[in-house]
């Protein structure tokens, strides 16, 4: 390969994976005076994802395709474009990029698809534009884009506190699998927090996630600990979106399901399984019974 061909090959297409964010436990500790809620949440990133790719361009553009593309606008409001603009503003970079997003994660569904896309865009464009940024500087750009975006920059098991920005990385999770199910209901996060009904200044440290080494022996050990935890947004989400009851019932009825719960502000629910084969079998059964639902199975991490 001559020098020119080498350069062309190096310019090639960059890709990034934007994994779903799963709140295994989500405790609401209190409500702040600015209206936001302080959380204590343990988060995993199963191998279910959107995909982003980009190539150099003089302008910034976005094309969206994939099963959930129709639910999204590809304009300035898209979190991918907002992330790119925030990165340019923070660094003074004037480069462009032609970005493609394959949207496989349901929108406004509690698994942080938009946040994962924003975080993946930040990681990808940092490489494309050869920006030399410390992790802390990238987190500072991610924060204003959404409470979940700094978590999604890590995309590895973590515990997050405060509004989600106070992040502690966790040891690797045990081998386990999950089934994710959404009835295709869209739930707006602010409405779910509002329905929780906490007053500004209401705060109780006793609501935090129970102490643990966060190094579980196996899937059963993880599920036993999860039984002692909750998703505090599950009751208000169920009130706003009654189809969640049917989704949880379907997951709980599956052989091998160790625990079923809502993720984030919903409406996506998950069940934990010890074995990927069992999870795949359960997903196929649910998809067969309810073809209109979105159903996926995947390793819990890795
Ligand atoms: C429910 C979670 O997904 C759990 O991981 C997040 O806390 C929400 O993350 P997100 O969707 O990225 O949230 P943002 O877009 O920053 O906030 C949307 C709205 O949710 C409410 N909100 C969000 C986060 C938080 N800790 N307290 C809140 O009260 C606020 O009304 C806020 O205006
Ligand atoms: N690339 C994107 N993907 C998904 N949603 C996006 C995107 N860009 C902007 N949005 C908007 O962001 C909002 C939240 O979408 P998202 O799918 O992240 O919600 P969510 O899964 O409920 O998030 P969370 O779990 O963080 O509360 C939606 O109203 C959507 O219109």
Query: In this structure, how many other beta carbons lie within 10 angstroms of the beta carbon of residue 108?
Result: 18
pLDDT of 69 over the 50 cut: yes
Its ipTM equals 0.95
What's the confidence (pLDDT) of residue 11? 58
The residues annotated with a catalytic role in the active site are 21, 148
What is the whole-number distance in angstroms between the Cα of residue 164 and the centre of ligand 1?
A: 9
Global confidence as pTM: 0.95
Task: Answer yes or no: is pLDDT of 6 > 60.
Answer: no
**What pLDDT score was predicted for residue 8?**
42
- Report the percentage of the chain scoring pLDDT > 90: 95
Of 2-6, 215-219, 292-296, which range is least confident? Answer: 2-6
Q: What's the CA-to-centroid distance between 112 and ligand 1, angstroms?
A: 10
Q: What is the four-CA torsion angle of 196, 200, 201, 203, rounded to 10 degrees?
A: 10
211 vs 46, which has greater pLDDT? 46
Q: What is the pLDDT of residue 7?
A: 42
User: Residue 113 pLDDT > 80, yes or no?
Assistant: yes
Q: Which atom of ligand 1 is nearest to the CA of 21?
A: 5
| Residue that has been written with the tokens 């502000």 in this structure | 265
Query: What pLDDT, in 10s, does the model give residues 146-190?
Result: 999 999 999 999 999 999 999 999 999 999 999 999 999 999 999
3-state secondary structure 93-148: CCCEEEEEEECCCCCCCCCCHHHHHHHHHHHHHHHHCCCCCCHHHHHHHHHHHCCC
Known binding residue 66? Answer is no
Residue nearest to atom 10 of ligand 1 (CA): 147
Q: Is 111 annotated as a binding residue?
A: yes
CA of 14 to the centre of ligand 2 (A): 23
> In this predicted structure, what is the pLDDT of residue 302?
85
What structural domains does the chain harbor? 3-169 (3.30.230.10), 177-299 (3.30.70.890)
Q: Is 107 annotated as a binding residue?
A: yes
């Amino acid at each position: 390969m001559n020098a020119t061909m080498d350069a062309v090959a190096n310019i090639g297409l960059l890709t990034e994976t934007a994994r779903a964010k799963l709140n295994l436990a989500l405790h609401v500790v209190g409500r702040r005076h600015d209206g936001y809620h302080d959380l204590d949440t343990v988060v995993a990133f199963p191998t279910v994802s959107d995909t982003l790719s980009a190539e150099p361009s003089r302008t910034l553009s976005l094309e969206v395709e994939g099963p959930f593309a129709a639910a999204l606008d590809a304009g300035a409001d898209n979190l991918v474009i907002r992330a790119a603009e925030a990165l340019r503003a923070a660094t003074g970079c004037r480069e462009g990029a032609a970005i493609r997003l394959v949207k496989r994660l349901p929108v406004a569904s509690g698994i942080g698809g938009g946040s994962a896309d924003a975080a993946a865009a930040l990681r990808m464009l940092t490489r494309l534009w050869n920006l030399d940024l410390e992790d802390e500087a990238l987190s500072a750009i991610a924060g204003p884009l959404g409470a979940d975006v700094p978590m999604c920059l890590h995309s590895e098991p973590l515990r997050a506190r405060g509004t989600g920005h106070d992040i502690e990385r966790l040891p690797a999770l045990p081998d386990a699998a999950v089934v994710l199910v959404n009835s295709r209901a869209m739930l707006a996060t602010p409405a779910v927090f509002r329905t929780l009904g906490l007053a500004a200044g209401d705060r109780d440290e006793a609501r935090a996630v129970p102490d643990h080494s966060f190094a579980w022996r196996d899937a059963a050990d993880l599920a036993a600990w999860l039984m002692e935890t909750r998703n505090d947004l599950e009751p208000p989400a169920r009130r706003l979106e009654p189809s969640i009851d049917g989704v949880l019932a379907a997951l709980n009825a599956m052989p091998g399901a160790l625990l079923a719960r809502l993720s984030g502000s919903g409406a996506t629910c998950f069940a934990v399984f010890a074995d990927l084969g069992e999870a795949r079998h359960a997903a196929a059964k649910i998809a067969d019974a309810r073809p209109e639902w979105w159903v996926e199975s995947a390793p819990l991490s890795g």
